[in-house]
Amino acid sequence: MKNFSFSRWSLRGGSLTGTRQNGPFMHYCKTLVQVGYEPFPPVESWFFGSTYLGLPNMFQYLRYLKSVDGFSGCYRGLTARLCGSTVSACVYNTLSKKVSISEDHTTDSDVPSFLKKTAVEIVCVTGSTIVAHPFHVIAVRTMAQFVGRETIYQSLWGSICEIYGKEGIKGFFSGVIPRLVGDIIYISISATIVYIACRHFGKSKLTDQAGSMTGNMVASSFSYPFQVVSNTIIVNNSGLAVGCAPHTRPFYNWVDAYRSLKYEKQLKRGSSLVGRAYTGPTYLVNGRPRPYGFYFGPVHLPGASYK
C-alpha cells in the first residue's frame, strides 16, 4: 500500500486560515457579524412556505459598509492580517521541518504513524497560531472599530502600544484558547476523515481531494463556533463599543462566552454568506416572531465621522 500523508490543503485550507478563502471584504463582514454587529433588524421572510426572520446577506452587508467608509474602508485590519499570516506561515514551516516524521516503512494501515503525524500537525499549528495571535487581536479590533467609530487602533505600532499599555502581554493573547481548541478539533476531524478515505479506498488524487473536501466541511462545522467565541472574547471589555452593552455583556472567560452564545443560539453567526436567518431568542406579537434580547444597530450614515 502507498504511504499515507496528510493533505496540506485539507489541514490548512479551512478554519486554520481564518476565512482567507473569502477574501478581505467577506472576511471583514464575517468578523463584524461574529463579534455581534447586526446593523439592520431581521424581516419576516418566506422559504418554501415556511417563515423565518431573515437578515441581509453578506453582499448587502458589504454594500452597507462600503457606503459608510468607501472602498478603502473595506480593507480594515488587512495590514495586521497580512503580518499575522506571514508570521504564522514562517513559524509553521520552521516547526514542521524540525518535528517532521519520516514516512519510511509506514502504510495506510499504520495507526500509530497516523496518530504521530496528527500530533505533529497539531504542534505546528498550535505554535504558529500562538506566535501570530497578537496580529489577529489587532486585526479583529481594528475591524470592530467600525461599530462605535473609534480610532483607538489605527497603525500597527500604535495598536501594539495601546494593547500593551492597557492590558499588558495578556491582552495580545485575548481569545487564543478557544481559537486553539477550534484548530485542534479541525485538525483531528479533518485528518481522521482523510485517513479513513485513504485506508479504505486507496491513496489517489481523487480520494485525496474527496477526503479533503469532506473533511473540510465536517471539521469546519464543529470548529466554527470556537472562531466566534474567540473573536467575541477579543473585543469583550476592550474599550470598543461592540464589546460592551448593549451589544454584549461582560464575560468572565471564554467558557462563559461559549455557554452564553450557545444559549442564545449565536455560535454559528456569520457562517453563511446568503440565506442568513436570525436564530436567537424570539417572542410572539400577533402570532408572529420578533427578536428578543439582541441589539441591532447602530446604522451609520455615509461618511460618518470617527470619535
CB 142 within 8 A of CB 76: yes
For the residues 78-103, what does the mean pLDDT come to? Answer: 89
pLDDT (0 to 100) of residue 199: 79
pTM of the predicted model, to two decimals? 0.89
Q: 54 has which bridge partners?
A: 43, 277
Report the C-alpha gap between 223 and 11 in whole angstroms: 13
The pLDDT tens digits for 6-42 are 544 344 433 454 444 568 899 999 999 999 999 999 9
**What's 205's domain CATH number?**
1.50.40.10
pLDDT (0 to 100) of residue 12: 45
Report the C-alpha gap between 280 and 262 in whole angstroms: 10
Could you please report the per-residue DSSP string of 166-195? HH-GGGGGTTHHHHHHHHHHHHHHHHHHHH
**Among the listed ranges 72-76, 105-109, 204-208, 264-268, which one has the minimum average pLDDT value?**
105-109
- Position 232 in a domain: yes
CB atoms within 10 A of CB 302: 10
pLDDT (0 to 100) of residue 211: 75
pLDDT greater than 70 at residue 128:
yes
- Position 14 in a domain: no
Report the number of distinct structural domains present in the chain.
1
CB 32 within 8 A of CB 143: yes
- Position 300 in a domain: no
- Position 133 in a domain: yes
For the residues 155-183, what does the mean pLDDT come to? Answer: 97
- Position 1 in a domain: no
- Position 181 in a domain: yes
Residues 6+ apart with CB under 8 A from 220: 14, 15, 186
Range of the domain at 184: 20-291
